[in-house]
Amino acid sequence: MWDEAFPSFLIGLREGLEAGLIVSILVATLVRFGHKARLPQVWTGVAAAIALSLSFGAVLTFTAANLSGHAQEAFGGVLSLIAVGFVTAMVFWMRRSARTLSAELKEKVQASLAMGAGALVLTSFLAVGREGLETSLFLWTNVRTAGESTGPLLGAAVGLVLSAGLCWGLYRRALKMNLTRFFTITGAGLIVVAAGVLGYGLRDLQESGLVGGGSSYAFDLSGHLDASSWYATLVQGTLNLTVTMTVLQVVGYLAYLCIVMTLFVEGVRGGRTAPAAGKTAQGEAAQGETAQGEKAGAAGPVRSGRPRWAVPTALVAVPVVVAGAVIAVSDGKQSSSATVSVSEQECGKGFSTPLPGQQVFQMHNTGDKVSEVYLVNPASGAVYGEIEGLAPGTTRALTATIGSGDYAWRCVPTGGTSVTSAAVHVTGGGQVKAVKPVAEDDLKGPLDAYKDYVNKGLATLLTQTQKLQADIHGGDLATARADWLTAHLQYASLGAAYGTFADLDGKINGRPDGLADKAQDKDFTGFLRLEYGLWHGQSAADLTPVADQLTADVAKLGQDFPGQDFDPGDLPLRAHEILENTLQFELTGDTDQGSGTNLATTQANLAGTRELLTVLQPLLDERDPQLLPRVDAGMKRVGDLVAAAHKPEGWTALEQLPADARRQLNGATGQLLEDLAPIPALLEIRKAA
């Protein structure tokens, strides 16, 4: 999360410190001149500025949430450019205004005292308001860039809290800080962050269709770099550089960074030759006489020839006007295709040639049957978007990215006839990935192959369980421990079929969780019950009925499985769920009943997943050729970490695994689960086929 939080942390720390220094100087000036009674007026202005900033952020969020996909991209792109402009101006204004901050602000406070309460409230409001509005705009942009709110909001909160602490320390003279150096370093950092925001904003404008060049890529490293890897995520979160970028993005990023950073560095060097008015910043803010408040003077109280209300009014009005214009233009272009009918008689009615980029279609079921609807390539059947279970008379939004090619709607009413609309041809867009639909018949071959694997595995399991039963009957518990592990691992390798084992799975491999007497409960049976007894000193006589019951249950499973229903749609789900259960139960030690062999079971789960992926490979390679090589690399990484825990003397218990090794294993397994996650969606059975 830190990679997504850092840019917001930086803006929160910097803007918070600037606003805090302004407030500190205002308060210190009033205290010094004996006007403590006027402090509530300062806090009133500060509270109003905070309220305005929060309202501004809410307006941005609400406005974006209620736009079509096309308008959202345009809205976000325009505001990203505005945010870059404000941040750039903020950085340079700070550098120019540092030396005159305190004196100018003190003059304004004294003038406000003469004019009355309203002037002092306005002074503090304008002083803090600009910082708050800039923070809201830039934070909103960061949230949109990250695609989630938790990291950016947390980063901003930490930055603001830290800045408040620093300002308090400066005010109380308990802290010494070279503010000039601080604002120089953070200014350079913000220029780098702003360059990334500029690139992201340009991409938004390209995807909205307002700016061309969306399919002209400067580079595409997606085939060589994993976009979900920690290093790619870190670079994207902090610098907004992605594995695929257009020519316009790269040119904009480099041009902004080179020009602005050069001007900034030259300005800093030039400032060093001027009188260093800010070297006594440590605590001068508390006196209201510091020259180190940096950009605080940019908040608005002192600007010759510029009305006080100009900056906050512009900050609110400009985005609203631009957003309104974008919405009007966007809605005008898409009005003819805003609503598309779904039914056997009117499938696709209202659909006209869409613009390239992300689009939102309002799908309205005009028929009398619940329907599924798909946006497809009519020649190949590839699916670009879908809605399932659209009830009669209802409307739901379908979001899809449109590129160059042919598009049509396929309406599949329940109990009715599948209908495909007339096709339209789109030009001027890039290549868009689509999902080739999977029919139930496509999974028949893989399902038959996997069921054959399970049937053979159950036959082997019965033989192994009978040997374990004989060991216990003969009182040879040492051999029984070794044979228990062999049989248990065989069962664990059949994980993709557990959904069809029904109640027998709980009897054969159930955990004591939820049982009244836990491991001592009479309903605790199967492999884990035997494990508990074998590794807790129970006698052969105590374990004989447990072994007999286990063998009987395994035999019954072998008889029942060929006749049980195995939903073909479950097969792709199991590719992810086997290792999901492994991470939840085996790698937490939740299933360990004394043998310390959780890592051996993890290895067996990996083997079961490999077998499942083998039968699914033809379907997966046809839809995403890069998926299985990425998964195979993750499987090898996890497998190597697990194998390292298998010593000549036996398996290392999970709790004895070094902390670093355990973290690596958990992290590698988590990443593997992310790599496996697309499989259920890729191989979902769709009626569009």
Quick: pLDDT tens for 276-307.
433 433 344 433 333 333 333 333 333 444 44
Q: Which residues is 386 bridged to in the sheet?
A: 374
Q: Where do we find the tokens 């304008």?
A: 126
Question: According to the model, what pLDDT value does residue 487 have?
Answer: 97
**Alpha helix locations (H) across 68-116?**
69-97, 101-115
Instruction: Note the pLDDT tens digit of each residue in 618-632.
Output: 999 998 888 999 999
Cα gap 478→42, rounded to integer Å: 80
Question: According to the model, what pLDDT value does residue 282 have?
Answer: 37
Question: According to the model, what pLDDT value does residue 333 have?
Answer: 39
Q: Which two tokens stand for residue 226?
A: 């994993």
Residues 6+ apart with CB under 8 A from 306: none
3-state secondary structure 344-376: CCCCCCCCCCCCCEEEEEEEEECCCCCEEEEEE
Question: According to the model, what pLDDT value does residue 536 have?
Answer: 96
Question: According to the model, what pLDDT value does residue 595 have?
Answer: 96
Burial class (CB in 10 A: 0-12, 13-18, 19+), 231: exposed
Question: According to the model, what pLDDT value does residue 85 have?
Answer: 79
Angle CA(67)–CA(71)–CA(74) in degrees, nearest 5? 135
DSSP 630-670: HHHHHHHHHHHHHHTTEETTEEPPGGGS-HHHHHHHHHHHH
Q: Specify the pTM.
A: 0.53
Q: Provide the residue type at 595 as one letter.
A: S
Q: Which residues is 426 bridged to in the sheet?
A: 405
Cα gap 165→145, rounded to integer Å: 29
Residues of the chain with pLDDT under 50: 1-2, 274-320, 322-337
